[in-house]
Amino acid sequence: MTRLLSRFSKRALVIAQIVIVFAIAITIALIPTIDERSFNLQRIAFFVLWYAILASSWNIIGGYAGQISFGHAAFLGLGAYVTGILWSELHWSPLVSLPIAGAIAAAYGVIVGIPTLRLRGPYFAIATIGVGEATRLFFVNFDDIFGVTLTRGVTGLSLSPGREEMFDPVNVLRLTAVVFVVVMLATMWIRAGRFGLGLFAINMDRDAAETAGVPTARLQVLALAVSAFFAASAGSLYAARQQFLDPASMFGFDKSIALVLMPVVGGIGTVWGPVFGAILYSTVQDQITSIVRNPYLPALIYGLLLIVIVIFEPLGIAGLLGRSTKYVRMLVLPRDGEP
């Protein structure tokens, strides 16, 4: 009997999660239609969705496969610059360049992933710091190395939107809502499926997974490629909205730090953890300076939060929520291999 019940409640769980994802996306997509002048709400909504996309994409490799990447801003920046350059050189709309940017970043993820993913735990993390910083410096000196003027180095690449529809922040917000839905569905689909189960097996014991037939190298590289694809799509969305890119901001180590903090603080390896982390991070980042003048308070908070979470509640906010009612726990803390 229990198995029947679990199969029924499992299906209900999936539907509930999908409905929640759509509810969030549709409400945000309709904000501009409801109140045209709600620029502040649109601004906040964009950054919450944007950080959620980034955190969820990082979670695929960092949360599911357990390979912590400290250099994920490399893919974010790559996506932004591909969209920026395709627009300023060929006038391709971000709508067109978003998937291309994702594909290029995924390819870069494979090239970088194959050698580094062989490394274990801390060594992989350190290698990603190296990759992240090397990518930043590569883009700072891109024009000098290749003798072209594409990225304009430290000065920054400014995009003149002209009449392109896709540079209107309202359209960018809606595209972000769509990408958010795609990313959340993808992470749920991966987590519940064969791919996710394989990643969790790798996370727990790579050698045991290997002997159980799991092609660990191939799965990890695929996970990094998918993660890179979605991180790059966030880069394209940023380029479309802010219309100005500079290497220090797009590839900065502080971005890579944020990409580690959000999923870990929110609940690493869970579906909704990264979203909780993104909401917390974007609100603290945006609103704290209105309360306390000193700009270093957010970083101090994150540092303390990280220590507390690692020691007392490894599943972060999701873990804390999970301690409440059974249903919340089922929603927030699914078993490995379930959405």
Partner 1 sequence: MRLIEALISALMVAGLYATMSYGLALIYGVMKIINLANAGSMMLASFATFFLWQTFGLDPLAAVLIVAPLFFVVGAVIEAFLVRRVVNEKPVISLLLLFGVLLVMQAGASFFLGGDVRSVRPVYIQEVVHFGDVTLAYNRIFVFLAGLIILVALELFLRNTFLGRAIRALAQDRDACRLAGIDVRRVSMIAFGLGTALAGAAGALLTAVFPFDPSNPYGVLQLKSFTIIVLGGLESIPGVAAAAFVLAAAENLTVTLSKPQLENLVSFLLLVVVLVVMPGGLAALIRRRRIA
Partner 2 sequence: MTAGEPILVGRNVTRRFGGLVAVNSVDFEIAEGEIFGLIGPNGAGKTTLFRLLSGVYRPSAGSITLRGQELGGRSAHAINGLGIATTHQIVRPFTEMPVDKNVLVGALYGRGKLRGRAADAEVDRILELTELAPHRATLGRSLTLARRKRLEVARALATRPDILLLDEVAAGLNPTEGARMIQLIRKVRDSGVTIVMVEHVMKAIMSLSDRIMVMDLGRRIALGKPAEIANDPAVITAYLGQQAVAS
Partner 3 sequence: MRRLFAVAVVATFVIAACGGGGGTGAAPSGSGGGAAAVKVPDTIHLGASLPLTGADSTPGKFMKDAYELYIKQVNDAGGLDVGGKKVKIDLKIEDNKSDAATSGQLIEKLITQDNVDLMLGGYNTTTVAQEVKVVNRYKMPYVNGGGASSSIYVDNTWAVGLLASIEKLAQTQLDFIKTQQDANKLPKPLKIAVAYENSSHGKEFLAGIQAGEKASPDRFKVVFNETFDLNGKDYTSLLNKVKDANADAFMVDARVNDYITMQTQYKQLGMYHPYLTYGPRGPEKAARDALKDSSDYIAAATWFDSLMPGDNIKKWLDLWAKTGDSPEWYAASGWECARILLTAIQKAQSIDKQKIHDVLFATTWDQSLFPGGSIKFGQTGQANNDYVMTQNTPGGNRILIWPKDLATGAATIPIPKK
- Could you list the residues that contact partner 3 (CB under 8 A)? 11, 14-15, 18, 21-22, 25-26, 29-30, 32-33, 36-37, 39-40, 42-43, 47, 140-141, 144, 152-156, 158, 160, 165, 168-171, 174-175, 177-178, 181-182, 185, 188-189, 192, 242-244, 246, 248-250, 252, 254, 286, 289-290, 293, 295-296
252 binds, among partner 2, partner 1, partner 3, none (CB under 5 to 8 A by kind): partner 3
Question: What distance, in Å, lies between the first and last C-alpha atoms of the chain?
Answer: 22
Among residues 52, 7, 35, 47, the alpha carbon closest in space to that of 275 is found at: 52
116 binds, among partner 2, partner 1, partner 3, none (CB under 5 to 8 A by kind): partner 1
Answer whether 153's CB lies under 8 Å from 11's CB: no
Nearest-angstrom CA–CA distance, 247 and 74: 10
Rg for the chain, CA atoms, rounded: 20
Answer whether 150's CB lies under 8 Å from 85's CB: yes
**Would you tell me how many other CB atoms lie within 10 Å of the CB of residue 90?**
9
Q: What DSSP string describes 210-279? A: HHTT--HHHHHHHHHHHHHHHHHHHHHHHHHHH-EE-HHHHS-HHHHHHHHHHHHHHHTTSSSHHHHHHH
248 binds, among partner 1, partner 2, partner 3, none (CB under 5 to 8 A by kind): partner 3
Q: How many residues does the chain have?
A: 339
Query: What does the CA dihedral 329, 208, 186, 48 come to, rounded to 10 degrees?
Result: 60
Q: Which helix (H) or strand (E) holds 260?
A: helix 253-267
**Is 36 one of the binding residues for partner 2 (CB under 8 A)?**
no
| Per rule CB under 8 A, count of chain residues that contact partner 1 | 42
* Token code pair at residue 184: 């959340």
253 binds, among partner 1, partner 2, partner 3, none (CB under 5 to 8 A by kind): partner 1
Instruction: Identify which of residues 158 and 325 has a Cβ nearer to partner 3 in the complex.
Output: 158
Instruction: Identify which of residues 136 and 206 has a Cβ nearer to partner 2 in the complex.
Output: 206
CA angle 16, 21, 26 (to 5 degrees): 125
The amino acid at residue 30 is L
Nearest-angstrom CA–CA distance, 249 and 80: 11
**Is 259 one of the binding residues for partner 1 (CB under 8 A)?**
no
Among residues 60, 64, 31, 35, the alpha carbon closest in space to that of 45 is found at: 31
Part in contact with partner 1 (CB under 8 A); list of ranges 32-40, 215-223, 233-241, 295-303: 295-303
Instruction: Identify which of residues 125 and 182 has a Cβ nearer to partner 1 in the complex.
Output: 125
**Is 337 one of the binding residues for partner 2 (CB under 8 A)?**
yes
Part in contact with partner 1 (CB under 8 A); list of ranges 23-31, 237-245, 252-260, 327-335: 252-260
Instruction: Identify which of residues 130 and 215 has a Cβ nearer to partner 1 in the complex.
Output: 130
242 binds, among partner 3, partner 1, partner 2, none (CB under 5 to 8 A by kind): partner 3
Part in contact with partner 2 (CB under 8 A); list of ranges 85-93, 114-122, 203-211, 228-236: 203-211
**Is 68 one of the binding residues for partner 1 (CB under 8 A)?**
yes
Nearest-angstrom CA–CA distance, 260 and 316: 13
Which residues here bind partner 2, judged by CB under 8 A?
A: 2, 194, 197-198, 200-201, 204-205, 207-217, 335-337
The footprint of partner 1 (CB under 8 A) covers 66, 68, 115-116, 118-123, 125-127, 129-131, 133-134, 137-138, 140-141, 144, 253, 257, 260, 264, 294, 296-300, 302-307, 310-311, 314
